[in-house]
Amino acid sequence: MTQTSPEPQDTAATERKPLYRRLYDWVIHWADTPYALPAIIILSFAESSFFPIPPEALLLPLFLGEPKKAFKFAFWCSVASVLGGMFGYWLGYAVWEAGLDQFCFQYIPGFTEERFAKVSELYGEWNFWIVFTAGFSPLPYKVFTIAAGVCHEDVNFGMFVLASAISRSARFFLEAALLRAYGEPIRDFIEKRLGLCALAFCVILVGGFAILKYVL
């Protein structure tokens, strides 16, 4: 007897999942492939200049799947993220006024004219600390990397690279250390409460911009 393929049913179930759940599933599926390391390198690079999904979406299952390699993944994630930030700086420096500005405002989530203008103003006064804060916190780092290139007269490139290297390394290596220490309970929590985690991330993101706006 020929068995009925379950694929249509599986496809329908997938289509019912919320968008963030599908994006999360797509990103973390690379953790179970031979391309996990190249995937985290590409994701980290892209997130620093234009891609909306943070590298932690893939870093988490990599840390938990191979805890002995956690610091290796953190290292490559840090290197790729800094290189992506340098690319973002170049984008702001070289092609911002050639149409990149309108593309970013229209198609990159969280990249609004008001937010970009605020970040540009802050660079003149805070410089190193703005880059460091953006690199270490859940703030949209890509906004700051591109803005740094646009404001290159206020943001020295060497300082930008140094602040990015310190903050991104501190962030990813701290996450690696915590996940090696506490492991599976953290993964279970995120898997079962993904919607809550996404909401919490958004709250932190909005709170970070509030700090930049009203405190700094």
155 in any annotated domain: yes
Question: Which domain range does residue 93 map to?
Answer: 18-214
Terminal-residue alpha carbon distance, the chain: 70
Q: Tokens 């985290």 map to which residue?
A: 40
4 in any annotated domain: no
Asked if pLDDT for residue 106 goes beyond 70, the answer is yes
Over residues 138-196, the pLDDT tens digits come to 777 888 898 899 888 888 899 999 999 999 999 899 888 887 777 667 666 655 655 55
Secondary-structure breakdown of the chain: helix, strand, coil percentages, each rounded to the nearest 5: 80, 0, 20
5 in any annotated domain: no
Over residues 4-43, the pLDDT tens digits come to 444 444 544 445 666 656 766 766 677 667 788 898 999 8
Pairwise CA distance, residues 82 & 77, whole Å: 9
11 in any annotated domain: no
Of residues 64, 74, 71, the one with CA closest to residue 184: 64
Of residues 36, 79, 60, 24, the one with CA closest to residue 178: 60
Number of domains within the chain: 1
10 in any annotated domain: no
109 in any annotated domain: yes
